[in-house]
Amino acid sequence: MSKTSVSNETSGKLCLWVEPWGTDHWMRPGEEFTVVTETEPEESPSQVVVHGQGITVWVNSGNDAEVIDKNGGQVPCGHQRPAEGRSLSSLADRQVRSQMATAAAVAVPR
């Protein structure tokens, strides 16, 4: 099992995106989430990217990933997502919509 933990050490909400699925999981200050896959770390290392709109964890395996909180509870996509027009710059808001559209497009069978 591979686990990658990230925490929000800022004073505001921070988004954790999990790729390649484009899911968004919003952390309040002081929160910590862990991205978990069934693959062993040696078989599928994750890549963590910190950028202006949050943190992205790229899961480099064919397996699904799950995001959990410090208590072991599942954190669903959209968890604590700010309401549109509140707390997000327009750039970050557009990025969230783009990530969501990408995730929806990937989920649709062709």
Predicted confidence (pLDDT) per residue in 32-61, tens digit:
999 999 887 677 678 999 998 899 999 987
∠ CA 76-23-64, nearest 5°, is 80
pLDDT digits 0-9 by tens, 63-95: 789 999 999 999 999 999 998 755 444 445 555
pTM over 0.75: no
Bridge-based pairing of strands 54-59 and 14-19 is parallel
Q: What are the counts of helices (DSSP H) followed by strands (DSSP E) for the chain?
A: 1, 7
